[in-house]
Amino acid sequence: MEMDIEEASGTKEGNPVLVILVGAPGSGKSTFCEEVMRSSTRPWVRVCQDTIGNGKAGTKAQCLSSADRALKDGKSVFIDRCNLDKVQRSEFVKLGSGPQIDVHAIVLDLPAKLCISRSVKRSGHEGNLQGGKAAAVVNRMLQKKELPKLIEGFNRITFCQSESDVKDAINTYSALGPLDNLPNGCFGQKSPDAKIQVGIMRFLKKSEVPVDTASRANGIKESTSQTHGNVDPCSKDTEKVSSISDNAYLESKEVQGQAVGSTSSDANQDVPTLAFPSISTSDFQFNHEKAADIIVDKVVEFSNKIGNARLVLVDLTHKSKILSLVKAKAAEKNVDTQKFFTHVGDITHLYSTGGLRCNVIANAANWRLKPGGGGVNAAIFNAAGSELEYATKEKAKSLSPGNAIFVPLPSSSPLFTREGVTHVIHVLGPNMNPQRPNYLNNDYNKGCKILQDAYAALFEGFVSILRTQAEQTNLRNENLGNQSLALQNKSESCYKNHFTNTDQKSKRDADHGSEKSKKYKGTQDYFGLTFTDSRDEKVDSEHRRTDGSTNKAWSSWAQALHQIAIHPEKHKDVLLEISEDIVVLNDAYPKAQKHVLVLARTRGLDCLADAQNEHLQLLKKMHDVGLKWAEKLLHENASLVFRLGYHSVPSMRQLHLHVISQDFESKHLKNKKHWNSFNTAFFRDSVDVMDEISSHGKATLKDDDKLLSMELRCHRCRSAHPNIPRLKSHISNCQATFPAHLLQNGRLVNASSEPKNND
């Protein structure tokens, strides 16, 4: 390894600097390093991919771990590779996540001609890029060049566009003593590249935040004072990005008062807008093609009834099938894109993170109009707080498929204050999912009709809200006589009737009054539902409880462990140990060399959330048995390290303790969720679970989905990696000691720590 790196002498003091050189072959990166290291009084390490493999070219992973090691030693590091695109740089930037490491870029942005002529002339260059090929390669590389931005995570960027700039930069860094720091910011950029890179957003995933480009640019220029120190390395980038985008919004869009009935403005934010999810296509498994046709048809039908208002179909991801289907069909039919468009984002954060002001949102409700369940319904009830629950209860107790009710949102609701939502319209569509109430058994004749009714009811509800708000506005603006909504008069009264009749007290009237109940006579029998309180409980038991938070529905595949716990005698072949209250078995898809499960046999103890004081003895026993097996396995292989713990939200029913070796060497460890379920706070150490239950009566769950989609970080050195294969290749080599947290309270079990726990 000594050959991989060149070290300059110096004392081990001050904040290390991670300098990422950016430049084509022949731009003078190696020379830059050599010059600085020759005269610097800092300890520098040069990491060069061309030589890191015992003097030959090596891998990026080798560079990463070598640089990481040097930084941990308190040394400053040069990353001597081209680093011309942001993705290449990003992993190196992340090495600087640790506290008090400054991440700098030096951009050797010299004329291509110069780089090429140097490359061509060069003989015996470390990168072996000589002769005629060099010109083509350098040209190709320079075409793809992406200049670094502060938002990628740099504290300081120095642009060198001439040889004298390079000389200046060499002087600056040569003079950088062990105790000095250089000011943050961008230096030397003469022709600012106006293009804003969003690569970091891609890296961070899920951040489908359309950030205003101009503001973002400002944000970058103004972000020079951002510091790297003392920020949780796991969340640093996320925080940085979100703070920048938040600022961008604050700067570019004054947070307005609630836009109820705003009259005239050319800003789209003042245009009344209904955001709605696709009804029935998710959990209710309605055919997407058919649903898309219905959505577009209904939109067309209503687009001339909503004045200047807008309808927006929202889904969480760009990959949404229904979104792209609807988009295509709407385009075919030439639907006015001012009035109807699709939007990717969280329907509960349309304004705060999407910049899209929607005063009305639709909820894909359940028939009992209760929170919970999942998807949009759970999200909206969550985001709106108890206010929506109460307001909904006031209006109705249940909803039949094909209907909608709107609920004014109290101004104390977070959805109102944060997002400017004034009304939620609950809609219930047809259900094609045999697991859910009102299953239509694939009868698309009925299903399509009900879905059409559902959208009609939804849009009618919106029109009704528009009308009310227009009236209020007119009252307020009597003298102005401003009519912002061009509603069709003849439609108004019937919308009004439809809607005022849809509440609980007149539910039957509403059903009688609508066409669908005439065509589908016996609606109540067919659905097996009535809408009186007295029958609610019966229906409840028929369809399982949908509102209880503790009653999770377990799919058949998730029952395997449960079956084993209940009938261990039938599964003796796979069991390592059976006792009255626990069984032990190997995980069927081990995520490490050794991965054992200690399974509780108690009925009704499905997951960590169910564990209470009364289970403390059992948890202790599970832990002890887990330790015993770890010891046994350590006896076979003393180099292993074990960790014992639970998943905050398990996929498999029946409480089970994971006893897993920390090598994570397994072909079954395939994706981000696998990794993060064992290597983020989602994994709850058994010792902590026992502590929490004995002191609070319950375990703390870290069940945020974000944990499972977090960036991939080495569980030892915390370095970040772009994908699973790279991560696995890194962890197969990483020898760093485990983070301090894991070394405490016996969270890790190894051969030497076994008799007594580490402090």
Partner DNA sequence: GTTCTAGAAC
Q: Is-contact 76 42, C-beta < 8 A?
A: yes
d(CA 686, CA 642): 12
DSSP-assigned beta bridge partners for residue 721: 712
Our finding on whether 260 is near DNA (CB under 7 A) is no
| Catalytic choice (343, 656, 721, 730) | 656
Tell me the closest approach of the beta carbon of residue 562 to DNA, in angstroms.
Answer: 12
Q: Among 181, 709, 745, 750, which residue sits at the site for DNA (rule: CB under 7 A)?
A: 709
Our finding on whether 442 is near DNA (CB under 7 A) is no
| C-alpha distance from residue 500 to each of 107, 176, 390, 503 (Å) | 66, 74, 18, 7
Q: Among 260, 448, 558, 681, which residue sits at the site for DNA (rule: CB under 7 A)?
A: 558
Tell me the closest approach of the beta carbon of residue 590 to DNA, in angstroms.
Answer: 9
Interface of this chain with DNA, residues 143 to 202, rule: CB under 7 A:
202
d(CA 596, CA 586): 4
Our finding on whether 434 is near DNA (CB under 7 A) is no
Our finding on whether 702 is near DNA (CB under 7 A) is no
Q: Can you list the alpha helix ranges (DSSP code H) found in 236-367?
A: 236-252, 288-303, 321-332
Assigned token pair, 296: 């577009």
Q: By CB under 7 A, which span of 180-188, 482-490, 716-724, 739-747 interacts with DNA?
A: 716-724
Tell me the closest approach of the beta carbon of residue 60 to DNA, in angstroms.
Answer: 10
Instruction: Pick between residue 290 and residue 321 the one whose CB is nearest to DNA.
Output: 321
Instruction: Pick between residue 582 and residue 652 the one whose CB is nearest to DNA.
Output: 652
String marking each residue 268-307 x if it binds DNA according to CB under 7 A:
-----------------x----------------------
Instruction: Pick between residue 620 and residue 706 the one whose CB is nearest to DNA.
Output: 706
Own/partner long-range contacts of 329-334 (Cβ < 8 Å, ≥24 apart): 329/292, 329/293, 329/295, 329/296, 330/296, 330/299, 333/296, 333/300
Instruction: Pick between residue 185 and residue 722 the one whose CB is nearest to DNA.
Output: 722
Our finding on whether 563 is near DNA (CB under 7 A) is no
Q: Is-contact 484 263, C-beta < 8 A?
A: yes
Tell me the closest approach of the beta carbon of residue 443 to DNA, in angstroms.
Answer: 18
Tell me the closest approach of the beta carbon of residue 199 to DNA, in angstroms.
Answer: 8
Beta-carbon neighbour count of residue 280 at 10 Å? 30
Instruction: Pick between residue 40 and residue 680 the one whose CB is nearest to DNA.
Output: 680
Instruction: Pick between residue 90 and residue 530 the one whose CB is nearest to DNA.
Output: 90
User: Three-state SS string across 493-545, please?
Assistant: HHHHHHHHCCCHHHHHHHHHHCHHHHHCCCHHHHHCCCCCHHHHHHHHHHCCC
Q: Is-contact 75 135, C-beta < 8 A?
A: no
CA 545 to chain centre: 29
d(CA 458, CA 452): 10
Q: What is the DSSP letter of 552?
A: P
Q: Among 535, 552, 620, 670, which residue sits at the site for DNA (rule: CB under 7 A)?
A: 670
Q: By CB under 7 A, which span of 20-28, 438-446, 530-538, 718-726 interacts with DNA?
A: 718-726
DSSP-assigned beta bridge partners for residue 712: 721
User: How many of the chain's residues bind DNA (CB under 7 A)?
Assistant: 28
Instruction: Pick between residue 488 and residue 723 the one whose CB is nearest to DNA.
Output: 723
DSSP-assigned beta bridge partners for residue 159: 107
Q: Among 265, 386, 435, 671, which residue sits at the site for DNA (rule: CB under 7 A)?
A: 671
Instruction: Pick between residue 285 and residue 363 the one whose CB is nearest to DNA.
Output: 285
Q: Is-contact 42 14, C-beta < 8 A?
A: yes
3 state DSSP class of 713: strand
Q: By CB under 7 A, which span of 338-346, 430-438, 695-703, 724-732 interacts with DNA?
A: 724-732
Interface of this chain with DNA, residues 569 to 628, rule: CB under 7 A:
588-589
Instruction: Pick between residue 224 and residue 235 the one whose CB is nearest to DNA.
Output: 235
Our finding on whether 87 is near DNA (CB under 7 A) is yes
Nearest residue to 153 via CA among 91, 107, 106 = 91
Active-site residue, 656 included: yes
Assigned token pair, 151: 């938002």
Tell me the closest approach of the beta carbon of residue 351 to DNA, in angstroms.
Answer: 23
> C-alpha angle with apex 403: 400 to 404, nearest 5 degrees?
120
Assigned token pair, 37: 């290291």
Assigned token pair, 637: 């292989």
Assigned token pair, 194: 């106006």
Instruction: Pick between residue 190 and residue 667 the one whose CB is nearest to DNA.
Output: 667
Tell me the closest approach of the beta carbon of residue 113 to DNA, in angstroms.
Answer: 28
Q: By CB under 7 A, which span of 186-194, 401-409, 532-540, 671-679 interacts with DNA?
A: 671-679
Q: Is-contact 76 45, C-beta < 8 A?
A: yes
Q: By CB under 7 A, which span of 327-335, 369-377, 474-482, 719-727 interacts with DNA?
A: 719-727
Q: Among 14, 373, 430, 650, which residue sits at the site for DNA (rule: CB under 7 A)?
A: 650
| C-alpha distance from residue 284 to each of 31, 540, 678 (Å) | 64, 18, 32
Instruction: Pick between residue 30 and residue 285 the one whose CB is nearest to DNA.
Output: 285
Assigned token pair, 264: 């005239």
Q: Among 724, 736, 742, 743, which residue sits at the site for DNA (rule: CB under 7 A)?
A: 724
Q: Can you list the alpha helix ranges (DSSP code H) found in 144-286?
A: 163-174, 199-204, 213-222, 236-252
Tell me the closest approach of the beta carbon of residue 538 to DNA, in angstroms.
Answer: 30
Our finding on whether 733 is near DNA (CB under 7 A) is no
Per the document, the length of the chain is 759
Instruction: Pick between residue 150 and residue 712 the one whose CB is nearest to DNA.
Output: 712
Q: What is the DSSP letter of 256?
A: P
Q: By CB under 7 A, which span of 37-45, 173-181, 242-250, 669-677 interacts with DNA?
A: 669-677
Q: Among 725, 732, 733, 737, which residue sits at the site for DNA (rule: CB under 7 A)?
A: 725
Tell me the closest approach of the beta carbon of residue 69 to DNA, in angstroms.
Answer: 23
Tell me the closest approach of the beta carbon of residue 734 to DNA, in angstroms.
Answer: 17
DSSP-assigned beta bridge partners for residue 404: 427
Our finding on whether 647 is near DNA (CB under 7 A) is yes
| C-alpha distance from residue 3 to each of 21, 76, 77, 125, 670 (Å) | 20, 18, 15, 16, 34
Q: By CB under 7 A, which span of 266-274, 295-303, 422-430, 666-674 interacts with DNA?
A: 666-674
Tell me the closest approach of the beta carbon of residue 222 to DNA, in angstroms.
Answer: 28
| C-alpha distance from residue 669 to each of 588, 676, 733 (Å) | 12, 10, 17
Our finding on whether 706 is near DNA (CB under 7 A) is no
The residues that are catalytic are: 656
Which residues bind to DNA, rule: CB under 7 A? Answer: 87, 202, 205, 285, 317, 319, 321, 555, 557-558, 588-589, 647, 650-652, 668, 670-672, 674, 677, 709, 722-726
